[in-house]
Structure 1
Amino acid sequence: MKNIVACIDNSHVAAAVCDASAWISKQVERPLLLLHVLDKSVYPAKTDLSGNLGLGARTHLLEELADLDAQRSKLALEQGRLQLEEARKRVEQQGVREVETLQRHGHFVETLADLQQDTRILVMGRQGEDHQAGVREIGSNLETVIRTLGCRILVTPPDFKTPSKVLLAYDASPTAKKVLQVIASSPLCKGLPFHLLMVGERSDKNLLLLEEAREELEARGHSGVTTALKSGEVEQTLLNHVAEHQLDLIVMGAYGHSRIRQFLVGSTTTNLLRRSEVPILLMRQ
């Protein structure tokens, strides 16, 4: 059975990652795996100083530095273990029954790639532990993860609120239609009102495509679907719609050539993830 995988670290977004992954785990009834990765690029397990050896006194100093590196890695691993235990307690208090923890010492993106075959949804914070609270930036690994992994990824800002209304960004492309079918059938958003938003010119064709999408959602048990066709820049149009209607989650397909999916390549992706006040679920089909 595929897991919900939550990336846990010492950042101010960790609590939101716990809350978001707990919500997902309960909604889709899948086990939750809490993952902590001690990145080798930051915490080397062993410092290789063989190429720097010289005089005896210098050798002794380098040996001490190597010992300090080893101690630093050991302490960081222990800190990560404690973070995982706190995360476990938090999600269990929210009613998650199947919880496991996993700690790895390796490269962060490679570790996620190794696990993605058994991952249904990956949950990450918008920022990592290297970012200060209140700074609107995204973590250095996030964009690489989005481009590298093929699984669904939920990116949460520092404050997570259990979704009550969902925005589905839709462009009627084959990928968007597949995303529509998957999210409509998934228990993740079962019973939640949907807003279907298309960014493009107002035409009879686009209005018809939106109506067909609405009928698809309602046929799969979603009532009260709202449709909207708006012109403008994709990023700002999405954010304005979310704010105007007080929506709690953005769902959209990743990659492609249409206006909505094209934003995921380049700076617009970064801007949307950085500016959004609500979680974004990226789905690649």
Structure 2
Amino acid sequence: MMKSALLLLGESPSGRVASVQARRLARNRAVQLTGLTGIDLAFIEAPMPGTIGGAAYHAQMESGLKAEAEKTRQGLEEAFRRDCAADGIIPTVISFEGDPPEQIATASATNDLLITGHDITFRGLKSESNSETLTEILSSTSRPVLVCPDEARSEGAVLVAYDGSLPAMRALQLFVLCGGWENRPVTVVSVDAQLETAERLARDAANYLRLHGHEVDLQPIGSSEAPAEVIQAHVARREIEVMVMGAYGHRGLKEFFFGSTTQTLIGQPKASIFLYH
């Protein structure tokens, strides 16, 4: 059962949704909540190609980025503490200057779940489209990650996108063991070119969920279309609050990290996505 969660503080719409989700879990589940913010020094201090006047320009740009990142960090900490106080939550706040994946991996070691917006950045920027920071975090953290969308959804249904891969099995297990979404309707969606295979995979996931007391609806889909498109369409048609998935697709971990179904879904998520690799 989940006892602690690490929230990556961000000022974009998805960062604010992540904060709402984290505080909801903290209130409803008595989860110890830690907020983390910081400055990506490796990015800000990265060298530039040599040009006339380049050193002076780079120093000026670096100084500006650091100042903006520090201003953002302070503002996020203050807003987080204020929101937690309003919700009756006593949080912990951690701040860093350095490499975000390394710092986050260290901080997440004492937490059950990592919660973040899909466009998280610690670079003095409000957001980062197709977040390189998030991709690095997903490849390095040892904990499941809840990736949040730009718009909050009310408490609703859970969708499990299941392909029978080891990451999908692990994501499903950790989702069940973490708790936090009990008594929600769960739909298992499996997509495969062969309908019989999709049906078998959906049954496997449903049997595991039922062992843990979940009511489950099966949606096996026989299709040769890209799984991301099929899954996104399913999410759009229903009020899905959380989607659970691992490295969805036949290429497994390689697909997870490089332009995969998973990468497509986290780029512009329609619902919060519970991920584990």
Please tell me the TM-score bracket, short chain as reference: 0.7 to 0.9
Q: Which aligned pairs between 1:220-259 and structure 2 lie closer than 5 A?
A: 220-223=212-215, 225-230=216-221, 231=223, 232-254=225-247, 258=250
Relative to structure 1, the CA distance from residue 158 to residue 94 in structure 2 (aligned partners, 3 Å threshold; closer, same or farther) is farther
Which one has the largest radius of gyration? 1
1:176 Cα deviation (Å)? 3.0
Contact 2:35 2:92 in 1 (8 A): yes
**TM-score, normalised to structure 1's length?**
0.77
CA distance in 2, matches of 1:78, 1:7: 16
Contact 2:10 2:117 in 1 (8 A): no
CA distance in 1, matches of 2:178, 2:120: 29
1:265 Cα deviation (Å)? 3.0
**Structure 1, 177-186 or 148-157: larger mean CA deviation:** 177-186
Aligned partner of 1:59 in structure 2 is none
CA distances 1:207-254 after superposition (whole Å, capped 9, x unpaired) = 24423432332231212x110111231100110111122212111124
Contact 1:13 1:125 in 2 (8 A): yes
Q: Which of 170, 177, 186 is equivalent to 2:162?
A: 170
CA distance in 2, matches of 1:168, 1:74: 42
CA distances 1:40-92 after superposition (whole Å, capped 9, x unpaired) = 13556xx9xxxxxxxxxxxxxx8xx9899779746743542232121122234
1:277 Cα deviation (Å)? 1.5
1:18 maps to 2:19: yes
CA distance in 1, matches of 2:198, 2:164: 8
CA distance in 2, matches of 1:79, 1:182: 33
Percent identity (aligned)? 20
Q: Secondary structure at the match of 1:272?
A: helix
**Superposed CA RMSD:** 3.4
Contact 1:179 1:252 in 2 (8 A): yes
CA distances 1:110-129 after superposition (whole Å, capped 9, x unpaired) = 21122231132111211246
Gaps of 5+ in 2: 47-55
1:37 Cα deviation (Å)? 0.8
Relative to structure 1, the CA distance from residue 195 to residue 110 in structure 2 (aligned partners, 3 Å threshold; closer, same or farther) is same
CA distance in 1, matches of 2:238, 2:179: 23
Q: Secondary structure at the match of 1:276?
A: coil
Contact 2:14 2:149 in 1 (8 A): yes
Relative to structure 1, the CA distance from residue 178 to residue 41 in structure 2 (aligned partners, 3 Å threshold; closer, same or farther) is closer
Relative to structure 1, the CA distance from residue 103 to residue 177 in structure 2 (aligned partners, 3 Å threshold; closer, same or farther) is closer
**TM-score, normalised to structure 2's length?**
0.79
Relative to structure 1, the CA distance from residue 41 to residue 178 in structure 2 (aligned partners, 3 Å threshold; closer, same or farther) is closer
Aligned partner of 1:183 in structure 2 is 175
Contact 2:112 2:178 in 1 (8 A): no
Contact 2:5 2:115 in 1 (8 A): yes
1:196 maps to 2:188: yes
Q: Secondary structure at the match of 1:18?
A: helix
Relative to structure 1, the CA distance from residue 98 to residue 254 in structure 2 (aligned partners, 3 Å threshold; closer, same or farther) is farther
1:149 maps to 2:141: yes
The amino acid that maps onto 1:16 is V
Relative to structure 1, the CA distance from residue 185 to residue 79 in structure 2 (aligned partners, 3 Å threshold; closer, same or farther) is closer
Q: Secondary structure at the match of 1:98?
A: coil
Relative to structure 1, the CA distance from residue 246 to residue 213 in structure 2 (aligned partners, 3 Å threshold; closer, same or farther) is same
Contact 1:171 1:260 in 2 (8 A): no
CA distance in 2, matches of 1:280, 1:93: 26
Q: Which aligned pairs between 1:1-285 and structure 2 lie closer than 5 A?
A: 3-41=4-42, 73=66, 76-77=69-70, 79-95=72-88, 97-128=89-120, 130=125, 137-200=129-192, 201-203=194-196, 206-223=198-215, 225-230=216-221, 231=223, 232-254=225-247, 258=250, 263-268=255-260, 269-284=262-277
Aligned partner of 1:58 in structure 2 is none
CA distance in 2, matches of 1:20, 1:76: 24
Contact 1:18 1:91 in 2 (8 A): no
CA distance in 1, matches of 2:24, 2:90: 13
The amino acid that maps onto 2:219 is A
CA distance in 1, matches of 2:3, 2:178: 14
